[in-house]
Amino acid sequence: MPSPDLDVVVIGAGLAGLGAATALRDVGLRCRVLEAAGRIGGRAWTTYPEALGGAWFDMGAFWFHDAANNPLVDIARRHGETLLRSDELRTERTLVDGHLATEAERADYDAAWPRFEAAADALIARHGDVSMADVTRHLADDPWAPTIEAWEAPVICTAPADRFSALDWRRNALCGFNLVPEGGIGAFVSRRLGQGLDVRLNTPVRRIRWGGAGGQVTVETDRGAITARACIVTVSTGVLASGALAFDPPLPTEVQDAVANLPMGMAIKVALRATGADRLDLPPHCSVDRRVGREADPFVPFQFWPFGRDYVQGWIGGPLAWDLAAAGQDAIIDHAMGQLRALFGARVDRLFVGGGRFVTGWDADPWVRGAYCYATPHHADARDRLGAPVADGHLMFAGEGCNIPYAGTVAGAWISGQDAAKAVGACLAP
Ligand SMILES: Cc1cc2nc3c(=O)[nH]c(=O)nc-3n(C[C@H](O)[C@H](O)[C@H](O)COP(=O)(O)OP(=O)(O)OC[C@H]3O[C@@H](n4cnc5c(N)ncnc54)[C@H](O)[C@@H]3O)c2cc1C
């Protein structure tokens, strides 16, 4: 049998693929990364929309979460990158039934988070797992429980509350403080994380034949086939579930089951540029949320005048984001305007009508198919199962879906890629 072309082939040049390739290079394994798109970074992608005056704009990841423990922060610091202390710059406003929250309401809101967490922990201890919606139902008299559910399920985790595992939520650690690399995470990734790696862009992988003699893997692309001793697949669970990447033989049932229980959530960033000098009496970099009602009350948090810029950015997450994405850009902008009008009245019409507008569309990217994944109730372990070695470690999966406690983040993707590389290294060791 001819010897394989490479030691390891990595599918995808997002954070997981780059993390894996870096670790493999560091131990001297011959590795190539095959990337379908024409750029590296995947969901870390900085653009410069004209509609927003050409300022840098992260289409996907924006923050380095849990910055004190985030490995990408260390890399950024080593390279002398400027890291913006976004939490310290931020001011916050919460509205309750149209008025600014009183001090007492604000204090109750603050106290509601540990109440919600304690209720989730108690329900998980009793039932093994529950949905986030179950936690809210359990806190029937808590006026803030629907707000916390709205923040944590559809907004932050992009998940429908009734299909989202409370245990998955509790295992994740988006705690600590956040930093933002000046110029955007996507730009940082393409500037700092691709050097010295063998990456082939515009090379979609169509089929992976695995389980050959000695564990050999053959990867079929539009530009021909490549053989390797092992393969690390870092595409999203949305791509895996779509069948756009075929496996021969089909993946083991445990892997298919893990993918099915890690569906993609959806998030849309919608930005509207102001045309006048009015700033709605809000300071720069101001986050605005509101108390959410119990009955079908779609919630869109806004960041006004990020870093002193002249636009507002809304975040639409969860099932509403899928519905609006399907309805199109005008529907997304109408929804954002409706939410702004409910908060600030007709002033927003004068301020935003005729201004630039910009909407992200991760649903339409065939190489991603959503924002990031969440685990369904009683399947929080799907992340570990997806990251477990297949074929004795000759086939590994990595990515944001496989990591705890940094699920759905750039750090989680990077760490999971490095973990997969270690497992492959052990598998290929003489
Ligand atoms: C709107 C939004 C906001 C976010 N905000 C944050 C944030 O503030 N902080 C944070 O830490 N995280 C954030 N995230 C999450 C973060 O961006 C992701 O968790 C992380 O980038 C995922 O990396 P990955 O390597 O797992 O996957 P990806 O980035 O999706 O990389 C996979 C790569 O595989 C490629 N690919 C797919 N199919 C094929 C194929 N058949 N052949 C070859 N290549 C293929 C894709 O093009 C892609 O480049 C956000 C994400 C979104 C969408």
Give tens-digit pLDDT for 303-325. 999 999 999 999 999 999 999 99
Domain identity same for 357 and 384: no
Q: Is residue 51 part of a domain?
A: no
Residue whose CA is at the smallest distance from ligand 1 atom 38: 367
Q: Is residue 353 part of a domain?
A: yes
Q: Is residue 185 part of a domain?
A: no
Task: Compute CA distances 238 → 59, 221, 366, 385, whole Å.
Answer: 18, 19, 9, 16
Number of domains in the chain: 2
User: Tokens 């063998």 appear where?
Assistant: 198
Indicate the pTM of the whole model.
Answer: 0.97
Q: Say which CATH number the domain at 30 has.
A: 3.50.50.60
**DSSP summary character for residue 137:** H
* DSSP H/E element including 255: helix 253-260
Residue whose CA is at the smallest distance from ligand 1 atom 35: 12
Give tens-digit pLDDT for 347-401. 999 999 899 999 999 999 999 999 999 999 999 999 999 999 999 999 999 999 9
| Domain final residue, candidates 364, 386, 406 | 364
Mean pLDDT, range 281-290, rounded to an integer: 96
Please state, rounded to an integer, the average pLDDT across all residues of the chain: 96
Instruction: Tell the burial category of 126 from Cβ atoms under 10 Å away from its Cβ (0-12, 13-18, 19+).
Output: exposed
Ligand 1 atom nearest to CA at 268: 1
Residue whose CA is at the smallest distance from ligand 1 atom 4: 61
Distance 45 CA to ligand 1 centre (A): 9
User: Tokens 């989202």 appear where?
Assistant: 164
Domain identity same for 304 and 342: yes
Q: What are phi and psi of 184, to 5 degrees?
A: 105, 150
Domain identity same for 20 and 144: no
| Domain final residue, candidates 364, 399, 419 | 364
Output the pLDDT for position 219. 98
Domain identity same for 345 and 217: no
Q: Is residue 146 part of a domain?
A: yes
SS3 377: coil
Q: What are phi and psi of 299, to 5 degrees?
A: -115, 130
Cis bond upstream, residue 283 (ω within 30) = no
Measured CA to CA, the distance from residue 309 to residue 314 in angstroms comes to 14
Ligand 1 atom nearest to CA at 62: 8
Give tens-digit pLDDT for 113-135. 999 999 999 999 999 999 999 99
Measured CA to CA, the distance from residue 194 to residue 44 in angstroms comes to 13
* Tokens, residue 345: 């009245």
Domain identity same for 273 and 257: no
Task: Please report the DSSP string for 15-82 in residue order.
Answer: HHHHHHHHHHHHTT--EEEE-SSSSS-TT--EE--GGGTT--EESS---BSSGGG-HHHHHHHHTT--
In the chain, % of residues over pLDDT 70: 100
Distance 236 CA to ligand 1 centre (A): 7
How large is the angle between the packed helices 185-192 and 71-78, nearest 10 degrees? 60
Give tens-digit pLDDT for 238-268. 999 999 999 999 999 999 999 999 999 999 9
CB atoms within 10 A of CB 111: 12
Residue 295 has pLDDT above 90, yes or no: no
- Could you tell which of 235, 300, 316, 396 is best to mutate to test the pocket of ligand 1, judged by most ligand atoms within 8 Å of the CB? 235
Distance 110 CA to ligand 1 centre (A): 32
Residue whose CA is at the smallest distance from ligand 1 atom 31: 14
Output the pLDDT for position 353. 86
Q: Is residue 419 part of a domain?
A: yes
Output the pLDDT for position 83. 98
Ligand 1 atom nearest to CA at 203: 43
Separation of first and last alpha carbons in the chain: 19
Domain identity same for 277 and 245: no
Residue 1 has pLDDT above 70, yes or no: no
Residue whose CA is at the smallest distance from ligand 1 atom 12: 409
**Ligand 1 lining (C-beta closer than 6 Å):** 11-17, 34-37, 42-44, 60-63, 65, 204-205, 234-236, 239, 245, 267, 269, 362, 367-368, 371-372, 399-400, 408-411, 413
Domain identity same for 359 and 381: no
Q: Say which CATH number the domain at 296 has.
A: 3.90.660.10
Distance 148 CA to ligand 1 centre (A): 26
Q: Is residue 198 part of a domain?
A: yes
- Domain limits at 226? 6-41+193-263+376-428
Domain identity same for 159 and 28: no
Q: Is residue 79 part of a domain?
A: no
Measured CA to CA, the distance from residue 49 to residue 59 in angstroms comes to 10
Output the pLDDT for position 430. 80
SS3 6: strand
Residue 173 has pLDDT above 80, yes or no: no
Output the pLDDT for position 296. 79
In the chain, % of residues over pLDDT 90: 96
Domain identity same for 406 and 281: no
Distance 251 CA to ligand 1 centre (A): 22
- Could you tell which of 410, 418, 419 is best to mutate to test the pocket of ligand 1, judged by most ligand atoms within 8 Å of the CB? 410
Measured CA to CA, the distance from residue 348 to residue 281 in angstroms comes to 12
Q: Is residue 161 part of a domain?
A: yes
Measured CA to CA, the distance from residue 197 to residue 49 in angstroms comes to 29
Give tens-digit pLDDT for 84-118. 998 999 999 999 998 999 999 999 999 999 999 99
Domain identity same for 204 and 227: yes
Domain identity same for 251 and 274: no
Domain identity same for 273 and 359: yes
Give me the count of residues in the chain. Answer: 430
* Tokens, residue 142: 């808590």
Output the pLDDT for position 174. 81
Residue whose CA is at the smallest distance from ligand 1 atom 29: 42
| Domain final residue, candidates 313, 343, 364 | 364
Residue whose CA is at the smallest distance from ligand 1 atom 15: 409
Ligand 1 atom nearest to CA at 39: 49
- 318 residue type, one letter: G
